[in-house]
Structure 1
Amino acid sequence: MSGKQVTDQQVNLYMKLRKDYSQKVSAAKAGISESSGYRIEKQALQPKRGQRNWRTRTDPLESIWDSVVLPLLEQDSDISPVGIYDHLCEHHQDKFNPSSRRTLERRIKQWRHLNADSSDVVFVQHHEPGRLGIADFTRVQYPVSILGEVLQHQLFHFRLPACGWAFAQVIYGGESFAAFSDGLQNALIAAGGVPTEIRTDSLSAAYKNRTEQDDFTERFTELMKHYGFKATRNNRGVAQENGAIESPNRHIKAQLEQALRIRGSYDFTSRSDYEAFVQSIVERRNRRVADKLAQEQRQLQPLPVHTSVNYTEHYLRVSRTSTIALKRVTYTVPSRLVGSRLLVRLYDSRLELYLGTVLTETLPRVYAQGSKRVRSVNYQHVIEALVKKPRAFRHSQWRDELLPSDNYKHIWSHVNDTMMADKACYYIVRLLHLASKTGHEQRLGEFVVNEIEHGRVPSIYDCEERFAYPPAAIPKMTVHQHALSQYQSLLHGGNHG
């Protein structure tokens, strides 16, 4: 067009169109005049103007580039442009204008492209179906809570990179072998098979990490043999080598957080509810790759008949206080077990207590943070013993932990202030005993608190009448109405007079 320089792109487009269109149409489509098209074909088009080779303004870095900036760049390749900028503003104000920051950044970037050492390169991988599975732990930052109490947890994340199928499991402790083994086995079961290779980073649950070689732990070696996979790991400190799981870690956590925001609350009524929520989000992601998973499952190795060990075993004796201690946590156990020696199988989320070969109790696992010691107290384990000596409740070290909810803490606070000491202990212990026997712990606590708020403390007898003795069921009676003709049979052979 008149007054505009014809670009190389327009020339190329014109010549391409000229194969199928006339000179006039091709010129119009290329955005040039017909005469320009004529000159292109005659190779008489005016050449493009050369680029200027002079500056239009004074170089603002001329006085400091060779003497100050270059020595810093050559001294340390990790010095950032912002660091050099701050240094110039502080120590070379007479030679450097702070408004030249962008010029400085562009000049440093250009110099490093031309003179710096080679950079890391990401090599895109090709994953064959059935060959590779990648596992990792990832910490969760969004504030999930259970009934208002913050839930400290992380996710075990497993992925088949060839098809994009993923598995996630909530982990409540650290990166232990029990958590890794349980998560990995559940992932393989959910996937329907075992890949040839399982890749992780240098997990202490799987590697001794004494050498750069694959110095597997004994338990991890047994797990490998049981499922028949080969274990590999990336180089220490090079997370990008596990890029097929590191990036999905961020994606799945972001998706979970967005789903929680849409849900409108981060609070759940129980751990199982939160676990079901996580599972529903993961299944929603997996539905998008269901057809690819079906194809990869044909290449997976079959699962073994039985699962492998995903727990550690400990032999513990129950103390006189009806407790056992494990991993800096003291757990109460049913008082009938006092003095017995138990086999404790420690899983990531629970403890299983065996007396001989008999499973006698399952306890939720509690984790101690740092070097602190904590307790897990269940009043139902000791209430039968406590009801025989209720005065022991007042000065018990477990007193606050024996109260199962805020309602019972409120009840104890009220009766402790309004009753004699012995009577207050007797009342709260009998109330806990009633809650244990009837299974109406929550309803009983709510009833008593409601009565207290109305200025009355219900007696234990009143509570028993309401919760311990369910109302007798009214028997159902079915009355059949006889037909009138049946009454006639009563008159035969009778007296008529």
Structure 2
Amino acid sequence: MSGPGQEVFFSQIYKPGQWCESDFTRMNKLGITICSIPFIHMLYHFVLCLSNWETVTVCFSESYESLSAGLQNALWKLGGIPRYHKTDNLTSAVNKVGNPEEFTANYRGLASHYGFQSCKIQPHCPYENGDIEQRHHRLKRAVEQALILRGSRDFNSREDYEMFLEKLLDQLNTGRTKLLAEELMVLWQLPARRHEDFTRDKCRVSRGCTIRVLKNSYSVHSRIRGENVDVRIYAEHIEVWYAQRIIEVLPRLHGENGHYINYRHVIDTLVRKPGAFENYCYKDDMFPTSQFRIVYDILRDQHGMKKGNKQYLKILELAANENQTSVNEALRFLINKADTIDFDMVKQIVKSEQQPPDVTDVCIGDIDINSYDCLLECAEALLV
């Protein structure tokens, strides 16, 4: 025999309550939908290395906030703290090579709060996190089988899907109770409270009434233009604080250069400056529903650009001051019934407090495909 030796993998023996591992895994290939809409998401996956007790948290990015929420959910559900927590080289927990600090400040604070020792694997060596990697594979296989037995991959809500996952994990963990009991006996006690699930930032409100958070833009009310605000960044939303009170709760955007602009924050100024609307950089965010967009196009066709913009902004102001749902229903009615549309017509319907009649729904009953077999018995079909 000649040549270099091959890489050797060493089986591990774990003591009760010593080691846990966690990681994120994407679930998109399983085709989960919520009300027939694809549910693009991932799971934060936590496992005890000896007993293989596991739990998950639905999330949408590998951010520190998702890691913090998922890990804390797991520890509090478990009821104790293992000595060591191992991850791969998550940017939410591990600093880049060359940084004198191995782990990020936020993650060090989380570890200090719970008292566990942080560990990470070497870059490009997922087998060093083998327990969680294997659990990813087996969990997805179990979810796939459960979906097949369920007969549908569609759920009525995210809550229904999370209940489905929780029930499945309870079933998977049932066979691990003996080893889990050994681990529970030696886990460290939980602290009196959870660590903060958010990170903090400070922003200055721009002239356009927007703030910049993690390379994305969000609108705030024009009343605080030019002021400094505190921002709390959670896994799925951000909170804007001013003068020690919360003034906005906004959905968190992921990625870079996105924007979430609420028309209610700027509509009062746009009504006074309608000329700014035509080329407004966030113009697409000024159409809260498809009905508003359709009416805007109709107004431009019927009244021209300048007057059409003014008419639309007054309708948008009505939605902000009265009720967006009522305005939307009025627009839907006028789109289907009226030859022309203007602000006064919309206002009259909304102020009358009368609900426009519903659009007629055409219902077609389910078709029994077995009935097509009868055609085969017809002489005409046989001749063909």
Deviates more, 1:422-431 or 1:146-155: 146-155
Report Cα offsets for 1:452-486 as digits up to 9, x if no partner: 13344555455445445657xxxxxxxxxxxxxxx
List alignment gaps of at least 5 residues for structure 1.
1-113, 472-497
Query: In structure 2, what is the equivalent of residue 386 of structure 1?
Result: 270
The equivalent of 1:106 in structure 2 is: none
Q: Is the 8 A contact 1:344 1:353 kept in 2?
A: yes
Partner of 1:12: none
Match of 2:369 in 1: none
State how far apart, in whole Å, the 1-side matches of 2:273 and 2:318 are. 16
C-alpha offsets along residues 92-139 of structure 1, whole Å, 9 cap, x if unaligned?
A: xxxxxxxxxxxxxxxxxxxxxx66655445444443332221111223
Distance of 2:53 and 2:352 partners within structure 1: 53
Q: Partner letter of residue 270 of structure 2?
A: L
Structure 1's 235 and 398: CA in aligned 2 closer, same or farther, altered over 3 A? closer
Identity of aligned residues (%): 28
1:435 matched to 2:310: no
> Aligned partners of 2:123 and 2:135: how far apart in 1?
20
Which residue pairs with 1:177 in the alignment? 64
TM (normalized to structure 1)?
A: 0.61
> 1:232 maps to what in 2?
119
Pair 254,430 (structure 1): closer, same or farther in 2 beyond 3 Å: farther
Aligned to 2:370: none
Shift of 1:264: 4.4
CA shift at 1:390, angstroms?
A: 3.9
Is 1:454 aligned with 2:298?
no
1:320 maps to which of 196, 201, 207: 207
Q: Does the CA contact (< 8 Å) of 2:54 and 2:173 recur in 1?
A: no
Query: Which of 252, 256, 264 is equivalent to 1:365?
Result: 252
Deviations 1:165-193 (A, max 9, x none): 322223333x3333322221222122222
1:423 equivalent to 2:304? Answer no
Distance 2:99 2:320 in 1: 56
Per mean C-alpha deviation after superposition, the further-off stretch among 416-425 and 288-297 is 288-297
TM-score in terms of structure 2 length: 0.77
Gapped regions of structure 2 (runs ≥ 5): 355-384
- For 1:97-136, list aligned pairs within 5 A: 118-136=5-23
Partner of 1:475: none
1:292-371 alignment to 2 at 5 Å?
292=177, 293=180, 296-369=183-256
Q: CA deviation at 1:258?
A: 5.8
What code does the residue aligned with 2:294 have?
A: H
1:56-87 deviation digits (Å, cap 9, x = unpaired): xxxxxxxxxxxxxxxxxxxxxxxxxxxxxxxx
CA contact (8 A) 1:197 1:229 kept: yes
3-state SS of paired residue (2:328) = helix
Letter of the aligned partner of 1:277 in structure 2? Answer: Y
Q: What is the RMSD computed on CA atoms of the aligned residues?
A: 3.3
Letter in 2 for 1:341: N
Conservation of the 8 A alpha-carbon contact between 1:329 and 1:374: yes
CA deviation after TM superposition for structure 1 residue 151, in Å? 6.2
Deviation at residue 307 of structure 1 after TM alignment: 2.0
What does residue 160 of structure 1 align with? 48
Change (3 A) 1:325 1:235: closer
CA separation of 1:217 and 1:319: change in aligned 2, threshold 3 A: closer
Deviation string, structure 1 residues 283-310 (Cα, Å, up to 9, x no partner): 4222342471566434322211122233
Deviation per CA, 1:206-258: give whole Å up to 9, x if none.
33354799833333222222101122223332212211100111233344456
Farther off after superposition, 157-166 or 193-202: 157-166
Per the TM alignment, residue 356 of structure 1 is displaced from its structure 2 partner at its CA by 3.0
State the alpha-carbon separation in 2 of the partners of residues 177 and 374 from structure 1: 19
Are 2:312 and 2:343, in contact at CA under 8 Å, matched by a contact in 1? no
Conserved? CA contact 2:330–2:349, under 8 Å: no
| Structure with the larger RCO, 1 or 2 (CA within 8 Å, 6+ apart) | 2
Cα displacement (A) at 1:274: 3.3
Query: What SS is found at the alignment partner of 1:386?
Result: helix
Matching of residues 394-413 of structure 1 within 5 Å: 394-413=278-297
* Amino acid in structure 2 at the alignment position of 1:286: D
Structure 1 window deviating more from structure 2 (281-290 vs 401-410): it is: 281-290
Change (3 A) 1:301 1:276: farther
Q: Report the count of equivalent residues.
A: 349
Q: Distance between the aligned counterparts of 1:301 and 1:234, measured in 2? A: 24
Contact 1:214/1:232 (CA < 8 Å) preserved in 2? no
Matching residue's letter, 1:154: M
Counterpart CA distance in 2 for 1:211 and 1:345 is 29
Q: How does 1:154-303 map to 2 (within 5 A)?
A: 154-173=42-61, 175-210=62-97, 215-256=102-143, 264=152, 273-274=157-158, 277-278=161-162, 280-290=164-174, 292=177, 293=180, 296-303=183-190
Alignment partner of 2:189: what SS?
A: coil
For 1:434 and 1:144, the matched residues in 2 are separated by: 38
Q: Using a 3 Å threshold, how does the CA distance of structure 1 residues 121 and 275 change in structure 2: closer, same or farther?
A: farther
Which of structures 1 and 2 has the bigger CA Rg?
Answer: 1
